[in-house]
Structure 1
């Protein structure tokens, strides 16, 4: 029986080559897009699920109510995790992770013998780290690997780069950063073959290694210092929710006095480690996280594309029912039941879906690097090691086969034997109406996707061109990561100022668009910390305002030797209740450990978006402190676009003044743009896959137009004989499809309007949704459909009427 079904299917496909080509290519294209998106989303949701006892591992997060501002931090104060293990028997183990990048050391100079290079993504961890987090040890083992002082574990690519074929275990490497230069013993090498983690690190340094590690081990600050990523592993069967209920008393026991003195309230929560990568809304994250809504949008796009491909199959199958009516009749006469026919036609559908997968897989392998570039990830197809790939492929074939083939199978098998044998195969079901409905649905999906492209592009363009309140173009950033390079920074600054194309050079502990980790609670004279305003700050020199193009609207800019002076933004002035014209000379107070200090305001800056447009401008101040030790960023404002010549001059000065460090720089506008990586990725994905969806829709429309022209060939012949013009005939064939696209536009507009309105809610500063965006989407859909249909309409209009009327 199955052999007969296969032969019938194969013969039908060969006999109807155009029909077969459109269906197979449509299903293959849809399957390719759908498969890649499913793999991408699956990868994002798989982070940290490889960990041993992952269901029992939680991150400690902190909610701070600080002087009128609420902060949701992905971090906690250093002593909290160890105290939890001590106080709660439910806590089996704890560990803490401190990325050096958030503390200023974004890169570290690694040296072994003659080899030396800079490395990013370095973390300090407790000696218990590998008791909580599971890694595959290529060299060494996880047992007490970080117990020894000044010990380190390397990621395999770093170990290969440093040691080549030499065994790294027991070897000593030197690490130089802004904390000084130290030797570390390599006790292990790991890789990420077990799975991806939200902790993206190339080096794991024990806390027992001086510097920030020693500071954390001795730290007893329960209110402030919320910079430590802290994790606990609970005993099996422990209820995290029940344990959380004990945290308020736990915090009061250790930190009530400190929190009261800072005017702070604090709550602790437990977040499952497996949800970290796909949860947003936390400050001070270890790595880039993705919103679940972003991933669900991608899944929706995958479903939409595959549905569009399935609609093509349904439409073309039912449209060509007349070609198979007599086959159905003959089969019924010789004893085939409706169930047998349904199996046959579903089998054809599954076969075509299978062919789609067979064609899609090599195509996907071919364009995988391009797709990975679009999504900024590194998905690989593991045919022999990942059983989930086979499950995904099987699921795609089954679902596609059922969705695409069910309606045609039941429709074709329902033909009445006597009628189809006589040549009357009309069904009681209004198949033409259903076909038109499916075309409308297909174009509703396409128009929604096109509208999404237009709105997202408009928002990204708005972000790109919005006045942020500072100058981001023609600004270069140089970073100094080691103690030696920081000592040489002054000479490099002096030489840069001599270049004719350099307008200003400033040094600071951070640059705009980057996460600002420093903040102070400040209040006016007569106030206290309980009513203080939390203000983020950057320490800098007298050139920062000029170098960044910031506007001072009251008072003055910094001057040389302006010690203990600050510039505040408008938001901070309003929050403190400082009236316009009264800021100059105002003292701002802060208190910590019973010691009150103050700074004096010399000017008010016009508000500027020093962080992304996802959030509103917060209270902020610049602190004059040019001699502070951690001013590791150099901001250079230039007045030329001939960067090739300028950078060549700068590189010569760099090698003259800075020894042992590579010449590296960042453009400030590029750094600003990186704040919107998720939105840019979404835009790239929708752009690419919408083109695929439109291509599939056009294939189906092309097939239906060809079928319609074939069915009406005699009518067209008669019209031509009676004097109808070619444009009139082309218009006659095109207008029916045009009506369907217009109906789809009417349905799609409110759907797209609502969906994109929800997406824009993620931005405090956003573009207004306008009618023209959806009108443009509709116009594009109309033009695409007209181009697709008109090719077949014109072909039919130019056909010789004698051929079509010969049998009459």
Structure 2
């Protein structure tokens, strides 16, 4: 290997390009491999995962807690069931200071139904009492430090001021459909204190999407066989029944992103997994192509060494395997550097991909074996072509000086064409997604808003009203609104069975209850106002909702059992709720006196100016009223941007992949240009002797590069079409395809390629032709 190290030292560009290209690509590959592996092995430790199913009703992945009980009482196929709702944030007092805890609220058989690991406590008893609480390891450490937590008590003022006893400690949730920020579990009997509509005692099952419902069946039993019968049964007993029923295998639920799930659960788009995986494979292939390109480019410089070895008795196989060993050494070094880079980039990758990664934590004997096999295969793949070229040549070609001219550029040109095609396709996808995001962010929403600060309620209404009065005295405050729901979050859902033209029509209204400042704050256009009040049970109704109820003018009846209708106090122009690409729904607004609104958010509209200072002053004022109780303070425009954070992350991700593709492609172009120039120095010298200029020779080289880019479109166009369609499937926003995007991608790649070739070939085309002819 001494001669190889000497070669690397003398050819620093070769060494840098290959190590840098492989290391960067392996960084991506390691991160993506960890991401894909974790996504495809979610809940891998659940012992009964193949017998557990998630109940789905229509396009809803959630139901009411009691649905599990109803199904088990009627269908013997249901061996057991469990239900939980998650995401509730409550605070407990530690040394009289409030500390937020994110709760999972579950049926008491949680640890018997699932196999999540308990560190302390008996699975059959930890949730036996209504005031039991099980903490995760990290939560127990946060609350009690290193002291034993079992038997300690926690008081939750906002859960009926109940005191809970710690009866168990469990491992943190990891690689699960349950978010890893869940810190504690309490029995479902406490749910009614946080949200009365999800109560176990509500036999009408009013909140139809308040809980996840799981059933467990005997081995080999598929509950979907009874789906039609279950659908008919639920239609009889449940106001929300009658929709198509399906039971999704436990692990498959993670990728069932087509379902609406009102409970914070971990899910991921399988299409995104394949996109990321494909991008990682392509980047790796581009880096391998670079290694092959650079190695082939350097074959003429190593030919004398290998000729000497052949003349001294080395066989073709000796030369071949020597080159493979050299490839393995360089690949191993690049792998180590790539692993260190991947570990350093892990936090950034987790933010971009929105998944948890743990390269070191996931290391095992099996993982190390896979890494070793991967490095060996990569070494063989990377070194095969240059090893084949150098082991199959005739040593006499080297002695006569004809080897360099006999070695063709077909390998390099083909690889460079593929690289350019991949780069153009990825740049097209990146530009297309950027255009779509711009269109979405500038889509008319049907309402307007200015500088609105949103505060979460952290006290009783009387205290909040006192804060409101003081806030209105500040010179920069325009309005203060108490509201239950905003256009951003869609408010609350109320589904009614409305008799329309002789038949019942299901109307799923999104409802907002607020004081009168809500209308002006969001620029909602009232088209008819009948001056009815909420005392009359009256609501403003959107114009499209009125169109969906022909014949109804004053009162909207509701044929749902136990429910009443409402009077129409007027109409308003429709506006978009949630995101611009989400489906529009019928809307209702009820205006109440501010004293009668129990707000989900307090909205404060300010004048233009120093928003950071306004927020600081309002927060200070708010804290003087709510004391130490935790709350959130965010500007509405930032909340709106959060609605599209998955798109921004995807755009960043594709941008990162495209940047890596550009870099690796540029390195590959460098390899091809160096080799191409080395092959044609003699030809250029002869042409210059007969009158050709340096500029003409440079144009000839750049024309060759431009021709290669033209051929690369055969690779780029099909890949770009697939990529654009995949992006459209993910963001579900239909709009015309911008014709200029692929043209811009081609021009950008062409420009960069031409500039690179110009800079690389500049010296070679200006050399004295005598210097290249005297060696012949």
TM-score when scaled to structure 2?
0.91
**CA contact under 8 A between 1:151 and 1:209: conserved in structure 2?**
no
Match of 1:606 in 2: 573
**Alignment match of 1:98 (pick from 82, 85, 101):** 85
**Alignment match of 2:752 (pick from 768, 774, 784):** 784
The alpha-carbon deviation at position 88 of structure 1 amounts to 4.5
> C-alpha separation between the residues in 1 aligned to 2:722 and 2:715?
12
Superimposed CA distance per residue, residues 545-582 of structure 1 (whole angstroms, 9 cap, x where no aligned partner):
22222223x2039776564221222331222236xxxx
Superimposed CA distance per residue, residues 96-115 of structure 1 (whole angstroms, 9 cap, x where no aligned partner):
111254xxxxx322113333
Superposed counterparts of 1:511-530, under 5 Å: 511-514=486-489, 516-523=491-498, 530=504
The alpha-carbon deviation at position 86 of structure 1 amounts to 4.2
**Alignment match of 2:557 (pick from 567, 589, 606):** 589
Match of 1:575 in 2: 548
Q: Secondary structure at the match of 1:591?
A: coil
> C-alpha separation between the residues in 2 aligned to 1:745 and 1:165?
62
Match of 2:717 in 1: 749
> C-alpha separation between the residues in 1 aligned to 2:470 and 2:559?
40
> C-alpha separation between the residues in 1 aligned to 2:268 and 2:109?
28
The answer to whether the aligner puts 1:542 opposite 2:498 as a matched pair is no
**CA contact under 8 A between 1:469 and 1:609: conserved in structure 2?**
yes
Gaps in structure 2 of 5+ consecutive residues:
none
Superimposed CA distance per residue, residues 657-700 of structure 1 (whole angstroms, 9 cap, x where no aligned partner):
33442453122222222222322221111112221221111112
Question: 1:387–1:634: structure 2 CA closer, same or farther, 3 Å change rule?
Answer: farther
Question: 1:476–1:392: structure 2 CA closer, same or farther, 3 Å change rule?
Answer: farther
The answer to whether the aligner puts 1:176 opposite 2:154 as a matched pair is no
**Alignment match of 2:646 (pick from 660, 678, 688):** 678
> C-alpha separation between the residues in 2 aligned to 1:86 and 1:334?
86
Match of 2:103 in 1: 122
Match of 1:69 in 2: none
Match of 1:66 in 2: none
The alpha-carbon deviation at position 452 of structure 1 amounts to 1.3
Structure 1, 86-95 or 765-774: larger mean CA deviation: 86-95
Superposed counterparts of 1:336-351, under 5 Å: 338-351=316-329
> C-alpha separation between the residues in 2 aligned to 1:375 and 1:226?
28
The alpha-carbon deviation at position 306 of structure 1 amounts to 0.6
**CA contact under 8 A between 1:506 and 1:635: conserved in structure 2?**
yes
Match of 2:655 in 1: 687
TM-score when scaled to structure 1?
0.87
Q: Secondary structure at the match of 1:227?
A: coil
Question: 1:317–1:525: structure 2 CA closer, same or farther, 3 Å change rule?
Answer: closer
Structure 1, 718-727 or 294-303: larger mean CA deviation: 718-727
> C-alpha separation between the residues in 1 aligned to 2:560 and 2:707?
72
The alpha-carbon deviation at position 301 of structure 1 amounts to 0.6
The alpha-carbon deviation at position 60 of structure 1 amounts to 1.5
Question: 1:73–1:210: structure 2 CA closer, same or farther, 3 Å change rule?
Answer: closer
**Alignment match of 1:363 (pick from 341, 364, 381):** 341
Superposed counterparts of 1:362-441, under 5 Å: 362-382=340-360, 385-387=363-365, 389-416=367-394, 422-425=400-403, 431-441=408-418
**CA contact under 8 A between 1:571 and 1:617: conserved in structure 2?**
no
Question: 1:169–1:741: structure 2 CA closer, same or farther, 3 Å change rule?
Answer: same
The answer to whether the aligner puts 1:73 opposite 2:60 as a matched pair is yes
Structure 1, 768-777 or 598-607: larger mean CA deviation: 598-607
Gaps in structure 1 of 5+ consecutive residues:
1-5, 64-71, 102-106
Question: 1:640–1:704: structure 2 CA closer, same or farther, 3 Å change rule?
Answer: same
**CA contact under 8 A between 1:452 and 1:756: conserved in structure 2?**
yes
Match of 1:166 in 2: 147
**Alignment match of 1:493 (pick from 468, 485, 510):** 468
Match of 2:138 in 1: 157
**CA contact under 8 A between 2:619 and 2:633: conserved in structure 1?**
no
> C-alpha separation between the residues in 1 aligned to 2:480 and 2:366?
54
Q: What's the RMSD between the two structures over aligned residues?
A: 3.1
> C-alpha separation between the residues in 1 aligned to 2:51 and 2:485?
37
Match of 1:220 in 2: 203
Superimposed CA distance per residue, residues 112-160 of structure 1 (whole angstroms, 9 cap, x where no aligned partner):
33332233x3221011111233333344343310011211112233322
Paired residues, number: 771
> C-alpha separation between the residues in 1 aligned to 2:549 and 2:294?
69
The alpha-carbon deviation at position 298 of structure 1 amounts to 0.4
The alpha-carbon deviation at position 206 of structure 1 amounts to 1.0
Question: 1:420–1:713: structure 2 CA closer, same or farther, 3 Å change rule?
Answer: closer
Superposed counterparts of 1:9-28, under 5 Å: 9-28=4-23
Question: 1:555–1:364: structure 2 CA closer, same or farther, 3 Å change rule?
Answer: same
> C-alpha separation between the residues in 2 aligned to 1:384 and 1:442?
32
**Alignment match of 1:650 (pick from 585, 594, 618):** 618
The answer to whether the aligner puts 1:564 opposite 2:543 as a matched pair is no
Q: Secondary structure at the match of 2:255?
A: coil
> C-alpha separation between the residues in 1 aligned to 2:276 and 2:138?
32
**CA contact under 8 A between 2:492 and 2:512: conserved in structure 1?**
no
The alpha-carbon deviation at position 247 of structure 1 amounts to 4.0
> C-alpha separation between the residues in 1 aligned to 2:229 and 2:111?
30
The alpha-carbon deviation at position 333 of structure 1 amounts to 5.8
Match of 2:56 in 1: 61
The alpha-carbon deviation at position 337 of structure 1 amounts to 5.1
Q: Secondary structure at the match of 2:327?
A: helix
Match of 1:703 in 2: 671
Question: 1:160–1:629: structure 2 CA closer, same or farther, 3 Å change rule?
Answer: farther
Match of 1:230 in 2: 213
Match of 2:124 in 1: 143
Question: 1:208–1:761: structure 2 CA closer, same or farther, 3 Å change rule?
Answer: closer
Superimposed CA distance per residue, residues 510-547 of structure 1 (whole angstroms, 9 cap, x where no aligned partner):
2222264522215267756x324222222223222222
> C-alpha separation between the residues in 1 aligned to 2:280 and 2:472?
54
The answer to whether the aligner puts 1:354 opposite 2:354 as a matched pair is no
Question: 1:384–1:35: structure 2 CA closer, same or farther, 3 Å change rule?
Answer: closer
> C-alpha separation between the residues in 2 aligned to 1:198 and 1:675?
21
Match of 1:49 in 2: 44
The alpha-carbon deviation at position 440 of structure 1 amounts to 0.7
Match of 2:507 in 1: 533
The alpha-carbon deviation at position 623 of structure 1 amounts to 2.9
**CA contact under 8 A between 1:415 and 1:427: conserved in structure 2?**
no
The alpha-carbon deviation at position 363 of structure 1 amounts to 2.3
**CA contact under 8 A between 2:87 and 2:264: conserved in structure 1?**
no
> C-alpha separation between the residues in 1 aligned to 2:235 and 2:173?
44
**CA contact under 8 A between 1:730 and 1:797: conserved in structure 2?**
yes
Match of 1:67 in 2: none
The answer to whether the aligner puts 1:309 opposite 2:287 as a matched pair is yes
> C-alpha separation between the residues in 1 aligned to 2:380 and 2:773?
40
Match of 1:244 in 2: 224
The alpha-carbon deviation at position 434 of structure 1 amounts to 3.5
> C-alpha separation between the residues in 1 aligned to 2:669 and 2:329?
22
Q: Secondary structure at the match of 2:540?
A: strand
The alpha-carbon deviation at position 778 of structure 1 amounts to 1.1
Match of 1:270 in 2: 247
Question: 1:325–1:49: structure 2 CA closer, same or farther, 3 Å change rule?
Answer: same
The alpha-carbon deviation at position 630 of structure 1 amounts to 5.0
Superimposed CA distance per residue, residues 8-51 of structure 1 (whole angstroms, 9 cap, x where no aligned partner):
64454345433232222211111111111221222233322222
Q: Secondary structure at the match of 2:435?
A: helix
**CA contact under 8 A between 1:78 and 1:221: conserved in structure 2?**
no
Superimposed CA distance per residue, residues 236-284 of structure 1 (whole angstroms, 9 cap, x where no aligned partner):
x2332xx22124334545x44335xx48513332222222333311112
